[in-house]
Structures are given as structure tokens and as C-alpha cells.
Structure 1
Amino acid sequence: MKLFKSIIVFIGLWIIATVGLFFAGFYLFPSQYRCTIGKNGATLCLSVPNPELEIFAKTGWIFLFSFLLAFLLFVIIRMLFKSKKTK
């Protein structure tokens, strides 16, 4: 039962880390806007995703980094709870 709880906590941390890194990527690498001016003077701006973020998301690097981040958080949380139990 203890192993099952640990696995559930780790998967939860992995999901949180993945979502956090994905949104942090949008914040750190914002979309680029390309604007064109038409013949009548109207301006059309389109949002173009940043290529660095697309490569990061498409190649699976985000899952590797989130796995490592979740593992690190999991180890830190376990160490904190073990140190509280020994006091």
C-alpha cells in the first residue's frame, strides 16, 4: 500500500511538473507576431509560435525534464517527511 501511494504521488508530481514546464515555456518563449499591412491600410497580425518551444514540446524533451523535476521533488518531499518523523 505504501508503494502504491508513492507511485500515485510521483505520477501527480510528474503531471504538475509537465504542465508547469509547458506553461513556463510559453512564458519564457512567447509567440512571435507577424503583421502585414494591406492595400487599404488595414493591419493583420498573426501569432506565430516560437520554433524553440515547438521543438521542445514535439520531441518529448518536456517529458524528460518534467520526469527529472518530479523525481527531484519526490525525493525532497520524502526526505522532509522522514526528517519530521525522526524528531
Structure 2
Amino acid sequence: APGAHARRPMVDRINALKIPVTFVYGDQDWMDPKGGEQSVENLRQAGNGNGRMYLVPHAGHHHNPKATNDLLVKELDRPHWS
């Protein structure tokens, strides 16, 4: 719900991950995409350059499933560890 806060924000722990990570937000999402942007930066600083963040157009938190699915298929097909 809007105004919700994580008990243990992922952005504070993300740098331990050594795998590709993809964040997807709607451009009208109630979640702030700055958390995803900061998580990708934290991954990069920890040596994991395989973090990505995307904004899905015309979408809130659960909208525009076609664009979201297309994006996820593209990410799954992308060579990782590049």
C-alpha cells in the first residue's frame, strides 16, 4: 500500500548478491523507483554490473502485463555476466 515501508529494505542488503538482478517498476507505480536505481548502483559498487532497472510505461504496480512480460523475456534471454 502507498506509504508502506520495508522492515529490512533490500537496498541495504543488495550488495551481497552476486547474481543478475532485474527491478521492474511501473511509471505510475506507488513504489519509488529510486530504490531500484540505488540497488543497481549498490550492486555495481560491489562488483556486480548485472543489475538492471526498468520503468514499464502506462503502468502502476500491477498493470501493463504484456510490456512487463516482454521485458522479462528479454532479460531472461540476455547473456549475463557481461
> Structure 1 length normalisation: TM-score?
0.27
* Larger Rg computed on CA atoms: 1
Q: Which has the higher helix share?
A: 1
